[in-house]
Amino acid sequence: MKARVYSVVALRRVSISLQPTLSTGPSAFLRRIQPSRPSSLTTPALRYGVRSLHSQPARRASTSPAEASNPAMAFPCLDALETRSAKLEAKSLSTGPEPTYTTGATEIFHCNDPLSLDWGGVLPEFEIAYETWGRVNADRSNVILLHTGLSASSHAHSTESNPQPGWWEKFIGPGACLDTDKYFVICTNVIGGCFGSTGPSSVDPADGQKYATRFPVLTMEDMVRAQFRLLNHLGVEKLYASVGSSMGGMQSLAAGVLFPSRVSRIVSISGCARSHPYSIAMRHTQRQVLMMDPNWNRGFYYGRVPPHAGMKLAREIATVTYRSGPEWEQRFGRRRADPTKPPALCPDFLIETYLDHAGEKFCLTYDPNSLLYVSKAMDLFDLGHENQQAAAERRAEREQLIQSGSSPNTNDPYCSLTLPELPYSEQPGASIDDSSTPVPGDSRPPEDLIMGLSPLRDVPTLVMGVASDILFPAWQQREVANALRLTGNRNVTHVELSEEQSLFGHDTFLLDLKNVGGNIKNFLR
Ligand SMILES: CC(=O)SCCNC(=O)CCNC(=O)[C@H](O)C(C)(C)COP(=O)(O)OP(=O)(O)OC[C@H]1O[C@@H](n2cnc3c(N)ncnc32)[C@H](O)[C@@H]1OP(=O)(O)O
């Protein structure tokens, strides 16, 4: 792996300033743009708790007749958040603050048939944004459905109408691993997303208002069912392959389980067949910091300042899970952005400014509610038989209700889960015994999972994992491969990239053309 070194000079864009900002900082800025308002009550910047907590000591330092023992600290990272809030607030007075979430022109499929969802919700109609590359052949047998990760759009590769490079630019094209001389590649934005497909920022046709958190809980399977409606519309009966990485790797497997006769091959990279507690924990913390941003406003922030601070923090946490410690050891080590300055509580080490930058880049480019819904759908993912059975029963019950003419009451808040009154107590057998507990993925997968994956017994499958991935650890792909083999599937290819091959962790699928791309190409031919 090529180690990269980022110099302090390259960090100028992060604009770290250790100078006190009392006179020219955002508080002055806020005063300038809103002279007549009692700003501590009305601006979201000031409603966000950090403002008052951190600005207080600085003000005291400048007004108190007695000298403080030490000077007040500056907090340029908080100043930056406040400045952004103020700018968004000012903009809201004219055009509305919410950014437009788009990565450019796409095709749109509008489906008028309602989509019933696994957890009882319904989309009376929906749209899917999609893009395509290559040419479909006469019998439509060369179609590859490419599934995205959590926050990606359908723009996997540049198109004539959108020449911007896509998120898998080098993996798609003539002669590339998804070879557009041979295959017709379709990529969609998932439902629940915000790049053209129906999601929480879309309008509910029932009342003309944005769904916000009236959007129903989604599953991976719901997203895949919506994609297959698109395939029906395009006249594609059977896919040459279903391909995806990360969340896309989950969807790729789900497509095969839901529609085994319509999928000829599966590629699942850095995915899994069921989310494990560590990954749920990491997504939970992201959702929590986002929901704790008062601008989130229980999801009803459209037309107001979006929860950009929560989004930034959520992305920083996510980035911690997307890469690897060893990569950062090589890339940043213990270096600080500016070692000539004293340490700061705002981003200071290069790893901190890196995370800060990742959060900055993302926080206004993706709809916060989409993040919550899609991330929750990842947590709920479980291709085990029991879970599939339970979903099927819920769907059948709902269907029966609809058939009988009694409409399910959609006005009851159905996400009313509260913590049980009795505190949690450890379950018998849940304690860890180091000497006898087998490494997950190396032991026999649970029977429930083998049974759940049994629809894939005749579908050739490539399962790829990366040893440095902490979010979808390599044992999860071993588990998928083992479970598939135990269903009787004799055509399972399992590849695990070692730490020598990639230290990029979960993001390897975006970066490693040689190993990831090479293995996909070999498998698909
Ligand atoms: C869970 C799922 O389903 S999918 C999850 C998939 N992963 C993601 O969504 C994360 C997406 N990752 C990215 O977007 C990455 O940018 C990639 C993979 C496209 C490219 O990765 P890399 O080439 O290694 O670049 P990376 O983003 O790590 O670093 C480069 C950027 O960080 C900046 N940077 C690097 N080091 C530092 C530092 N110490 N301080 C501040 N900024 C820094 C660079 O200036 C550059 O900025 P730019 O992107 O604005 O030009």
Convert the pLDDT of each residue in 450-508 to its tens digit. Answer: 999 999 999 999 999 999 999 999 999 999 999 999 999 999 999 999 999 999 999 99
Convert the pLDDT of each residue in 141-196 to its tens digit. Answer: 999 999 999 999 999 999 999 999 999 999 999 999 999 999 999 999 999 999 99
Q: What tokens does 299 get?
A: 């999801």
Distance separating alpha carbons of residues 525 and 520, to the nearest angstrom: 9
Residue 504: CB partners within 8 Å, gap ≥ 6? 1, 323, 324, 327, 466, 468, 510, 511, 512
Q: Using 50, 70 and 90 to split pLDDT, how confident is the model at 239?
A: very high
Strand 143-147 and strand 126-133: pairing? unpaired
Distance separating alpha carbons of residues 387 and 115, to the nearest angstrom: 20
Closest to 117 (Cα-Cα) out of 409, 384, 395: 395
Tell me whether residue 345 is exposed, middle or buried, using C-beta atoms within 10 angstroms of its C-beta: 0 to 12, 13 to 18, 19 or more.
exposed
Does the structure's ipTM exceed the value 0.95?
yes
Convert the pLDDT of each residue in 336-364 to its tens digit. Answer: 999 999 999 999 999 999 999 999 999 99
Residue 433 has a pLDDT of 62
> Does 469 qualify as catalytic in the annotation?
yes
Pocket test for ligand 1, best of 6, 276, 516 (most atoms within 8 A of CB): 6
- Mean residue pLDDT of the chain comes to 87
Closest to 359 (Cα-Cα) out of 300, 324, 307, 301: 307
Is 511 touching ligand 1 by the criterion CB < 6 Å? yes
Tell me whether residue 359 is exposed, middle or buried, using C-beta atoms within 10 angstroms of its C-beta: 0 to 12, 13 to 18, 19 or more.
buried
The residue nearest atom 50 of ligand 1, judged by CA position, is: 361
Instruction: Tell which phi-psi region holds residue 96, choosing left (phi > 0), alpha (psi between -120 and 50) or beta.
Output: left
Convert the pLDDT of each residue in 223-237 to its tens digit. Answer: 999 999 999 999 999
Average pLDDT score over residue span 6-12 = 39
> Does 276 qualify as catalytic in the annotation?
no
> Does 246 qualify as catalytic in the annotation?
yes
Q: Return the SS3 of 512.
A: coil
Contact call for residues 492 and 461 (beta carbons, < 8 A): yes
Report DSSP state, residue 445: P
Strand 184-188 and strand 241-245: pairing? unpaired
Cα of 365 to ligand 1 centre, how many Å? 14
Residue 164 has a pLDDT of 97
Contact call for residues 215 and 200 (beta carbons, < 8 A): yes
Of these residues, 201, 506, 507, 512, which one is catalytic?
Answer: 506
Is 6 touching ligand 1 by the criterion CB < 6 Å? yes
Distance separating alpha carbons of residues 191 and 198, to the nearest angstrom: 5
Can you give the length of the chain in residues?
525
Is 286 touching ligand 1 by the criterion CB < 6 Å? no
Q: Distance from CA of residue 356 to its chain's centroid?
A: 18
Helix 308-322, helix 368-379: angle, nearest 10? 40
Is 11 touching ligand 1 by the criterion CB < 6 Å? yes
Please give the model's pTM, rounded to 2 decimal places.
Answer: 0.88
Angle CA 90–92–95, to nearest 5 = 115
Convert the pLDDT of each residue in 85-101 to its tens digit. Answer: 999 998 877 666 667 79
The residue that leads in pLDDT, 31 or 475, is 475
Distance separating alpha carbons of residues 52 and 68, to the nearest angstrom: 19
State the residue for tokens 């902490």. 470
Average pLDDT score over residue span 38-57 = 37
